[in-house]
Amino acid sequence: MPSKQSSSFLNQVDTPADLRALPTKALEPLADELREYLIDVISETGGHLAPGLGTVELAIALHYVFNTPVDKLVWDIGHQAYPHKILTGRRKQMQTIRKAGGLSGFLKRAESEFDSFGAGHSSTSISAALGMAIAAKIKGDSNQVVAIIGDGALTAGQAMEALNNAGDLDANLLVVLNDNEMSISRNVGALSNYLARILSGRAYTSAREGSKTVLGTVPPVQAFARRWEEHLKGMVMPSTLFEELGFNYIGPIDGHDIHTLVATLNNMKSMTGPRFLHIATQKGRGFKPAEGEPIAYHGIGPFNPDTGKVEKKPSQRTYTQVFGDWLCDMAAKDNRLIGITPAMREGSGLVRFAEQYPDRYFDVGIAEQHALTFSAGAACDGLKPVVAIYSTFLQRAYDQLIHDISVQNLDVTFGIDRSGIVGADGPTHQGAFDMSFLRCVPNMVLLAPSNESECRDMLYTAFLYNGPAAVRYPRGSGPGEVESAEMRAIPIGKGVVKRTGTRVALLAFGTMVNPALTAGVELDATVVNMRSVKPMDNELILKMAESHEIIVSIEENTVNGGAGAGVAEVLSAAGCTTPILILGLPDHHVDQGETGSVLSSLGLDSAGIVASVRKRISLKATTSR
Catalytic residue numbers, as ranges: 283, 368, 396
Closest among 456, 443, 339 to 386, alpha carbons compared: 339
CA gap 98, 103 in Å, rounded: 6
CA gap 358, 497 in Å, rounded: 42
* Beta bridge pairs of residue 278: 177
Pairing of strands 337-341, 275-280: unpaired
- Phi, psi angle pair for 412, to nearest 5°: -125, 130
How far is C-alpha 397 from the chain's CA centre?
Answer: 13
DSSP SS3 for 608: helix
CA gap 384, 422 in Å, rounded: 29
Residue 577's contacts (CB-CB under 8 Å, 6 or more residues apart) are: none
**Amino acid letter for position 309:** K
Cis peptide before 358 (omega within 30 of 0): no
Contact of 18 with 12, CB cutoff 8 Å = yes
- Phi, psi angle pair for 35, to nearest 5°: -65, -45
CA gap 420, 417 in Å, rounded: 9
User: How much of the chain is helix, strand and coil, in % rounded to 5?
Assistant: 45, 15, 40
Contact of 145 with 74, CB cutoff 8 Å = yes
CA gap 429, 591 in Å, rounded: 10
- What burial class does residue 297 get, using C-beta atoms within 10 Å of its C-beta: 0-12 exposed, 13-18 middle, 19+ buried? buried
Give the H/E segment covering residue 390: strand 384-390
How far is C-alpha 188 from the chain's CA centre?
Answer: 34
